[in-house]
């Protein structure tokens, strides 16, 4: 009974993991990068590199809002929306934005941004068009080129599989504490298993938390039925009920003067004396239906819903305010969402999240490599690889080596594409997918050690190219970032160089294996088999 | 400085957990640990890890729980690297760990 239980759990762990491992790798990879979403976006916009948030950032917010409203009144009085995005520690620029005229048949015309140096108040050069870190953020749960809702369902199913794989993995790992610090190098499959175990165990609380909370963030899409039953207007009614500031007003064409902003600001600072405001937006300015929405930062509170106030834009009265005291259910849902997004994290915790994310990527990568390696080892001398094995090996190579290369291509395209080119942001994304497709096609034909070796070198060169091309095409470089204490930019370049070093080590290791004399060992026989197959 | 203390305690705890095991102790000290030594390592490990968790929670509440999970991951990673690739360096690493613990603890006690 006991043996059959462990066998069935092992079987489940293997297949549940293998079926979705490539998608999970993409989700983890993009999710890990998006912990530094704002920093990646900053790197992608060299025009903003020299900016630093002022020391007295919060004290300046009142003046910045008043100046912003004055600017928007003068620049875009006819616009349907105004937004004032205040500088934060991670996004140092001050941004006054307004909605451009809506094209025929569209609900939104897109934003026109006007960036300002928060220290000097001078206007900045318009940064290049890029999605930056937002691309990876969206990619990790919306995927790309497919319907958002379908993508989220697919990602949720993969997450559910991951949760099952994690729990069954804990059950089948009999020596979970004994082998906690063990990594036996140069032992073939044993080393891969150790790598899989160590990367799983060292961040196990994170892996379980991030997978479970990932499902929770989309729980109302997965399971909307209680809200649909309780509310006449379904899930929208539910959200309006729990978020009082979600009030939607019907737009009016009747002109009406905007309320005095000082009056609104007085109310904000009376309610929240030490507020760190992040956004001040006005819908339908200079119209009878005008509303003002103000959002504040949650700081390091384990809370995802930002404190929000909604004002009438004509008389300045407070229409709605986010609740200060949540019910226990709301606290549970909101804190789980906060844990997943990691928006609360200061730099130390953000790096720890990143480390755990990398551990997750290694766990998935070692898992899928190990499956193919074990099948190869079990094969008889003259046996040909099955279609399934070839498929898994191809997908392994395409995903594990293709994604880092595609990411480098995205950043290189950011620096090399002409700044004024139309739909520039989409072209960066296209560079990402074309590179990935090229690696996938390459893997379709050959997927032996030699191809891993070649791609390791290509990846190493690509990783070095990112900071190098940055230094050649912008005023900054890794050295200047270090000297000027621009830690976000310095860390970005440093991570690229560390990745390059790791790919060089991987290539050297593979070179040693390719050059080793073909002794009659089991693992060498496997290598020979794969070579024979290729030649065939 | 409090973050350094929290992390040093966490690292010390996992180091003690590792040294309580026969194979890791032998890799570092080239001898077998006695039953009593193993027990002392385990007791020290539990005290140290609970202190680290306590400091995280007292200082940062819920946020501290997240930090603690991160510290655990980083500690296990560092120890795995040392025990698997440079077991001889564990003694020096332990000494640095204890020095950091004393410095950060003293700094917090004084200021």
CA distance B5 to chain A (A): 14
When CB atoms are compared, the residue of A198, A345, A348 closest to B80 is A198
Answer whether A85's CB lies under 8 Å from A67's CB: no
3-state DSSP call for residue A78? coil
Using a CB-CB distance cutoff of 8 angstroms, which residues of chain B are in contact with residue A205?
69, 72
CA distance A510 to chain B (A): 19
Taking only the tens place, the pLDDT of each residue in A434-490 is 999 999 999 988 888 889 999 999 999 999 999 999 999 999 899 999 999 899 999
- At residue A535, the pLDDT reads 39
When CB atoms are compared, the residue of B3, B70, B84 closest to A182 is B84
Would the CB atoms of B21 and A300 count as touching at under 8 Å?
no
CA distance B75 to chain A (A): 8
Question: Can you tell me the distance from the alpha carbon of A467 to that of A489, in angstroms, rounded to the nearest whole number?
Answer: 10
- At residue A3, the pLDDT reads 66
Please count the other Cβ atoms lying within 10 Å of the Cβ belonging to residue A452.
22
Taking only the tens place, the pLDDT of each residue in B45-57 is 999 999 999 999 9
Answer whether A330's CB lies under 8 Å from A242's CB: yes
**Banded pLDDT at A529 (limits 50, 70, 90):** very low
Question: Can you tell me the distance from the alpha carbon of A11 to that of A334, in angstroms, rounded to the nearest whole number?
Answer: 35
CA distance A521 to chain B (A): 24
- At residue A534, the pLDDT reads 40
Answer whether A466's CB lies under 8 Å from A498's CB: no
CA distance A183 to chain B (A): 6
Would the CB atoms of B70 and A352 count as touching at under 8 Å?
yes
Question: Can you tell me the distance from the alpha carbon of A278 to that of A296, in angstroms, rounded to the nearest whole number?
Answer: 5
If you count residue pairs, one on A and one on B, with CB atoms under 8 Å apart, how many are there?
74
The residues on A that touch B, with CB distances below 8 Å, are 178, 180-185, 198, 201-203, 205-206, 209, 300-302, 335, 339, 344-345, 348-349, 352-353, 355-356, 359
Would the CB atoms of A181 and B76 count as touching at under 8 Å?
yes
Work out the mean pLDDT of chain A and round it to a whole number: 87
Taking only the tens place, the pLDDT of each residue in A170-207 is 988 877 777 788 888 888 888 888 889 999 998 899 99
Judged against a pLDDT cut of 70, whether residue A64 lies above it is answered with yes
Structure tokens at A527: 């290598």
Structure tokens at A76: 């875009």
Quickly tell me which residue has 């994304």 as its tokens: A429
Q: Report residue A85: phi and psi, to 5°.
A: -100, 110
Judged against a pLDDT cut of 90, whether residue A231 lies above it is answered with no
Compute, in degrees rounded to 10, the torsion defined by CA atoms A495, A496, A497, A499. Answer: 80
Structure tokens at A27: 């989700």
Check CB contact of B25 with chain A, cutoff 8 Å. Answer: no
Using a CB-CB distance cutoff of 8 angstroms, which residues of chain A are in contact with residue B63?
300-302, 344, 349
Average pLDDT of the residues in B33-53? 92
**Banded pLDDT at A105 (limits 50, 70, 90):** confident
Environment class of residue A426 by beta-carbon count within 10 Å: exposed (0-12), middle (13-18) or buried (19+)? exposed
Would the CB atoms of B66 and A302 count as touching at under 8 Å?
yes
**Banded pLDDT at A208 (limits 50, 70, 90):** very high
- At residue A238, the pLDDT reads 85
Instruction: Tell me the residue length of chain B.
Output: 111
Would the CB atoms of A344 and B74 count as touching at under 8 Å?
no
Judged against a pLDDT cut of 50, whether residue A259 lies above it is answered with yes
Distances (CA, A) of A68 to A82, A220, A262, B7: 9, 37, 13, 44
Q: Which residues, including other chains, have CB under 8 Å from residue A303's CB and lie 6 or more apart?
A: A334, A335, A338, A344
Average pLDDT of the residues in B46-75? 91
Would the CB atoms of A352 and B79 count as touching at under 8 Å?
no
When CB atoms are compared, the residue of B14, B70, B84 closest to A183 is B84
Model-level pTM? 0.89
> Vertex A231, ends A226 and A237: CA angle to 5°?
110
- At residue A118, the pLDDT reads 85
Structure tokens at A415: 């620096």
Using a CB-CB distance cutoff of 8 angstroms, which residues of chain B are in contact with residue A339?
66
When CB atoms are compared, the residue of B17, B21, B73 closest to A202 is B73
Would the CB atoms of B66 and A345 count as touching at under 8 Å?
yes
Does residue A253 or residue A214 have the better pLDDT?
A214
Task: Provide the ipTM.
Answer: 0.90
Q: Where are the alpha helices (DSSP H) in A94-251?
A: 133-142, 148-172, 189-202, 204-217, 219-222, 225-230, 234-242
Average pLDDT of the residues in A217-240? 87
Answer whether B51's CB lies under 8 Å from B44's CB: no
When CB atoms are compared, the residue of A178, A201, A302 closest to B62 is A302
Q: Which of residues 42-101 of B touch A (CB under 8 A)?
A: 60-63, 66-67, 69-74, 76-77, 79-80, 83-85
When CB atoms are compared, the residue of B3, B62, B77 closest to A348 is B3
Does residue A118 or residue A406 have the better pLDDT?
A406
Judged against a pLDDT cut of 50, whether residue A531 lies above it is answered with no
Using a CB-CB distance cutoff of 8 angstroms, which residues of chain A are in contact with residue B3?
348
Mutate to test the interface with A, among B6, B11, B53, B66 (most CBs of A within 10 A): B66
Judged against a pLDDT cut of 50, whether residue A211 lies above it is answered with yes
**Banded pLDDT at A402 (limits 50, 70, 90):** very high
Using a CB-CB distance cutoff of 8 angstroms, which residues of chain B are in contact with residue A348?
3, 67, 70
Nearest CA in chain B to A339: B66
CA-wise closest residue to A90 among A272, A276, A281, A295: A276
Q: Report residue A401: phi and psi, to 5°.
A: -100, -25
CA distance B110 to chain A (A): 24
Would the CB atoms of A183 and B67 count as touching at under 8 Å?
no
- At residue A528, the pLDDT reads 45
């Amino acid at each position: 009974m006991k043996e059959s239980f462990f066998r069935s759990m092992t079987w489940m762990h293997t297949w549940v993991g293998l079926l979705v491992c490539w998608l999970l790798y993409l989700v983890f990879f993009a999710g890990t990068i998006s912990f530094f979403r704002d920093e990646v976006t900053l790197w992608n916009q060299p025009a903003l590199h020299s900016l630093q948030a002022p020391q007295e950032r919060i004290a300046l917010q009142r003046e910045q809002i008043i100046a912003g409203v004055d600017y928007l009144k003068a620049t875009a009085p006819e616009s349907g929306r105004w937004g004032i995005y205040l500088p934060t520690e991670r996004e140092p620029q001050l941004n006054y934005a307004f909605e451009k005229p809506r094209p025929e048949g569209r609900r939104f015309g897109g934003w026109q941004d006007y960036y300002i140096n928060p220290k000097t108040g001078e206007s900045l050069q318009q940064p290049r068009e890029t999605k930056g870190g937002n691309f990876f953020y969206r990619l990790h749960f919306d995927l790309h080129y497919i319907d958002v809702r379908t993508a989220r369902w697919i990602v949720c199913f993969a997450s559910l599989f991951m949760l099952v794989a994690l729990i069954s993995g804990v059950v089948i790992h009999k020596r979970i504490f004994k082998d906690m610090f063990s990594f036996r190098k140069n032992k073939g499959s044993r080393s891969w298993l150790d790598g899989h175990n160590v990367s799983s165990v060292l961040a196990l609380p994170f892996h379980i938390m991030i997978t479970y909370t990932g499902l929770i963030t989309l729980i109302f899409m997965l399971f909307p039925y209680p809200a649909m039953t309780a509310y006449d207007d379904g899930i929208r009614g539910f959200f309006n009920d729990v978020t009082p500031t979600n009030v939607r007003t019907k737009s009016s064409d009747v002109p009406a003067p905007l309320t005095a902003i000082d009056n609104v600001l007085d109310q904000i600072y009376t309610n929240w004396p030490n507020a760190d405001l992040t956004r001040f937006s006005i819908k339908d300015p200079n119209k009878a239906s005008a509303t003002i929405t103000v959002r504040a930062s949650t700081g390091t509170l384990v809370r995802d819903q930002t404190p929000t106030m909604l004002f009438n834009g004509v008389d300045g009265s407070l229409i709605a305010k986010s609740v200060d005291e949540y019910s226990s259910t709301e606290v549970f849902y909101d804190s789980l969402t906060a844990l997943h997004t990691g928006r609360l994290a200061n730099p130390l915790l953000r790096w720890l999240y990143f480390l755990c994310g990398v551990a997750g990527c290694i766990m998935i990568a070692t898992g899928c490599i190990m499956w193919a390696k074990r099948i190869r080892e079990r094969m008889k001398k003259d046996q040909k690889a099955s279609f399934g094995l070839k498929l898994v090996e191809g997908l392994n190579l395409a995903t594990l080596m293709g994604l880092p290369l595609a990411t480098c291509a995205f950043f290189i395209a950011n620096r090399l594409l002409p700044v004024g080119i139309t739909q520039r942001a989409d072209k960066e994304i296209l560079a990402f997918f074309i590179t990935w497709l090229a690696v996938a096609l390459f893997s379709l034909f050959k997927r032996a050690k030699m191809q891993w070796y070649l791609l390791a070198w290509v990846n190493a060169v690509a990783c070095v190219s990112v900071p190098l091309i940055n230094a050649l095409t912008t005023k900054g470089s890794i050295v200047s970032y270090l000297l000027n204490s621009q830690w976000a930019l310095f860390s970005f370049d440093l991570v690229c160089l560390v990745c390059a070093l790791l790919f060089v080590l991987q290539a050297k290791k593979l070179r040693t294996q390719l050059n080793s004399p073909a002794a009659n060992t089991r693992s060498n026989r496997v290598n020979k088999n794969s070579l024979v197959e290729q030649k065939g | 400085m409090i973050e350094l203390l929290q992390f040093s305690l966490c690292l010390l705890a996992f180091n003690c957990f590792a040294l309580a095991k026969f194979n890791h102790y032998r890799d570092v000290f080239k001898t077998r640990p006695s039953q009593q030594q193993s027990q002392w390592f385990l007791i020290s490990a539990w005290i140290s890890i609970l202190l680290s968790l306590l400091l995280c929670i007292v200082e940062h509440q819920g946020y501290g729980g997240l930090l603690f999970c991160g510290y655990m991951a980083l500690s296990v990673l560092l120890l795995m690297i040392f025990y698997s690739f440079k077991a001889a360096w564990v003694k020096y690493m332990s000494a640095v760990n204890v020095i950091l613990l004393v410095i950060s603890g003293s700094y917090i006690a004084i200021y």
